[in-house]
């Protein structure tokens, strides 16, 4: 499959030879993939994956906020055996690290979402397929078994939404991830400067044959123009109820950042919440997701699982999110950058490195299972001063 796609896609014909096996072997953390991906990918495509909205303050803060949370490790605990397994919506997975929905993955590598699906299944974790994938729900399902969620944008034509949901059900997807922070696309200035369009040999496969227009060249971002024409700006909480009426699949809402919305989500009967700022690609100067996480968790009173999406690059980040109440994390950019550099093998290595880093962090913090990770294992900048016991 991949050989034919390479022949069809001029993006990949002249750039792959630089990336020999020696450089790939030297990679020791997931952040190193981004630098290699920047060398390999055309500027328009790299910028699409890497950039954020406007001043990109939140993009930087998604990472920087993790660095301000410190560990309070416990010692002299037998950590000879450590268990990273967990359960998400009833599905047992190998670790609390899952793959977030990321659009148009065949821009990064000719195998695109096929490679991501296979890597996630091999790692024993969950992949979320974007509505705007360059592979369809049926194509992803054809890669073999695996637990997969389907991310949904609600289009103005609700018949299209119903068709998509039913196709995801039929293809064996296990949950719907409803993105709720995109009534309009954020101002992504790199995409505007680059006049972003989807390469001509690719398409949004879930919508082939539906006459919804294309990501064509405009005087702006082609994606922004597409979203303005197709995505329903009137989406509201009543539509969560509507979605529940057309599918038995559990629904997670992705894009919650406040206690107020978390409480409404619980009242609306969602199966889970994903704390996300859309990779800092929507409204700039919203808080980092790791900063917003605890507020959302407390507002739910733990009636539904809360997950974190945004800024995760280390196993230490995963531990901090779990200590603040997350039931797991989703990763996006690390997947597409490792995909760009080394295809399926790159994603497998990314997932393995994060797994191993989390396991090491747990061992050095005195935690033998995810259940043993507590709020007392970290100190956050917003915590009140701790007073030590008097002698």
Of 109, 278, 355, 377, which is the active-site residue?
A: 278
Dist CA 75 CA 65 (whole Å): 26
Indicate left, alpha or beta for 342 from its phi (over 0: left) and psi (-120 to 50: alpha).
Answer: alpha
**Pick from 72, 84, 76: nearest CA to 354:** 84
Rg (CA), the chain: 20
What is the three-class DSSP state of 285?
coil
Cβ atoms of 254 and 228 within 8 Å: the answer is no
DSSP H helices, the chain, are: 2-8, 21-25, 31-40, 43-50, 57-67, 112-123, 137-141, 158-170, 189-194, 222-230, 237-246, 259-267, 289-300, 315-323, 333-365
Sign for the CA dihedral angle at 329, 330, 333, 336 comes to: positive
The answer to whether residue 109 is catalytic is: no
Angle, alpha carbons 317-318-319 (nearest 5°): 90
* Residues with a known catalytic role: 278
């Amino acid at each position: 499959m991949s050989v034919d796609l390479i022949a069809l896609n001029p993006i990949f014909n002249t750039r792959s030879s630089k990336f020999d096996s020696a450089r790939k072997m030297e990679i020791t953390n997931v952040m190193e993939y981004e630098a290699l991906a920047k060398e390999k990918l055309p500027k328009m495509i790299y910028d699409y994956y890497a950039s954020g909205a406007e001043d990109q303050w939140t993009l930087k803060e998604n990472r920087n906020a993790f660095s301000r949370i410190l560990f309070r490790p416990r010692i002299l605990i037998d950590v000879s055996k450590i268990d990273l397994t967990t359960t998400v919506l009833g599905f047992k997975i190998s670790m609390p690290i899952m793959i977030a929905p990321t659009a148009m993955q065949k821009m990064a590598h000719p195998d695109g979402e096929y490679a991501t699906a296979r890597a996630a299944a091999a790692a024993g974790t969950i992949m979320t397929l974007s509505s705007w994938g360059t592979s369809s729900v049926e194509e992803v399902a054809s890669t073999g078994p695996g637990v997969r969620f389907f991310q949904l944008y609600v289009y103005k034509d609700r018949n299209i939404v119903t068709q998509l949901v039913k196709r995801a059900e039929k293809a064996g997807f296990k949950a719907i991830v409803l993105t709720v922070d995109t009534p309009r696309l954020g101002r992504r200035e790199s995409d505007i400067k680059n006049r972003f369009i989807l390469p001509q040999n690719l398409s949004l496969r879930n919508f082939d044959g539906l006459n919804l227009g294309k990501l064509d060249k405009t005087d702006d971002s082609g994606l922004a123009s597409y979203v303005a024409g197709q995505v329903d700006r009137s989406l509201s909480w009543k539509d969560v109820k509507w979605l529940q009426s057309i599918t038995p699949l559990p629904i997670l809402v992705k894009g919650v950042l406040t206690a107020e919305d978390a409480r409404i989500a619980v009242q609306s009967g969602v199966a889970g919440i994903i704390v996300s700022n859309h990779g800092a690609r929507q409204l700039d100067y919203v808080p980092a997701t790791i900063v917003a996480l605890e507020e959302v968790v407390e507002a739910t009173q733990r009636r539904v699982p809360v997950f974190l999406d945004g800024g995760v690059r280390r196993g230490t980040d995963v531990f901090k999110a779990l200590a603040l109440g997350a039931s797991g994390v989703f990763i996006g950019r690390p997947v597409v950058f490792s995909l760009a550099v080394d295809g399926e093998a790159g994603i497998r290595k990314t997932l393995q490195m994060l797994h191993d880093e989390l396991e090491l962090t747990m061992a050095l913090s005195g935690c033998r299972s995810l259940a043993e990770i507590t709020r007392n294992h970290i100190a956050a900048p917003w915590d009140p001063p701790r007073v030590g016991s008097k002698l």
